[in-house]
Amino acid sequence: MSGKSINFNPNPRNKPQSSATALDAFVNGETEQQPTPKEQPIEKKPLKRLTFDIAADLHKRIRMTCLGRDKDMAEELRRILEENFPA
């Protein structure tokens, strides 16, 4: 065996960007990612958990749509709630 070591990101929610360069950087352990010009840095706010029941078919539609758009389901739902309940 070679002396090669592999470092894993301890937080699985820090997903790599979809570009090949970002994926190469992620594989090489370079987790410092700069936002692309069209991405806005997200302000860190304290979070509260909201739990409610929805129909299974609605959940599946949301999940499949988010997967198709390569979006995080929780982030998409937060965005929708912010749009419908402005400060």
Walk along the chain (87 residues) and give the pLDDT tens digit of each residue: 567 777 766 666 655 455 667 777 777 777 655 555 565 666 788 889 999 999 999 999 999 999 999 999 999 999 999 999 998
H or E stretch including 79? helix 73-84
pTM here?
0.48
Task: Report whether 33 contacts 22 (CB < 8 A).
Answer: yes
Residue 8's closest CA among 31, 24, 34, 36?
31
Length of the chain: 87
Handedness of CA 80, 57, 52, 66 (dihedral sign): negative
